[in-house]
Amino acid sequence: MSTYRFRSKHSYTQAELLAFQLAFAAQASKYRHYKWQYAKAVVAGLIFAGVTFCVGRWLPEPFYTPVFAVLLVLLAGPHLYYLICFPVLQCPACLQTLDLDKAEDFCPECGGNQGWSTHWFSQGKRCNACGTTLQDGEERSWSVHYCTHCGVHLDVDGL
């Protein structure tokens, strides 16, 4: 575990912890909105790409290349939207940027800091407090309820 340059969740009052949750609620709402917009853009891009591909197969050769250029734009558009527009989540307590795909000192599921254990058959690490396994290099299978830097409870529903 690293040394803390800021206060941990145990040094805040209940009122401060509630204020942090309320402050983070706006960020979480915006994040969920952009995530939903991204999912809709990906689905729309795939549908339009399928239609473009089907139409492009029956076009003569001079029109073939522009049709596939449109196809590329339709598939790349949502990813550019994701890179440019997605909000950066910041913990209101420690002011650290939340990385939703990895855990630092505190478990994102339970907020515990009892340490991590690794198993020979899994590639990730397992929280000693709640047993959640955080796999590296795969789709995230856990929800982020707590800040992984200071352990403050941020979101009831999880991100």
The DSSP element (H or E) to which 26 belongs, if any, is helix 14-57
Instruction: Report pLDDT for 4.
Output: 46
Where exactly are the structural domains of the chain?
13-87, 90-159
Report which DSSP code applies to 97: B
Per residue of the chain (159 residues), what is the pLDDT tens digit?
444 455 667 778 889 889 999 999 999 998 888 888 888 877 877 787 777 777 767 777 666 667 677 777 777 777 777 778 778 889 998 888 887 767 778 888 888 888 777 766 666 788 888 888 777 655 667 788 898 888 889 998 888
Task: Please state the pTM of the whole predicted model.
Answer: 0.72
For residue 88, the SS3 value is coil
Instruction: Report pLDDT for 138.
Output: 59
* Whole-angstrom distance, CA of residue 92 vs CA of residue 79: 28
Instruction: Report pLDDT for 24.
Output: 92
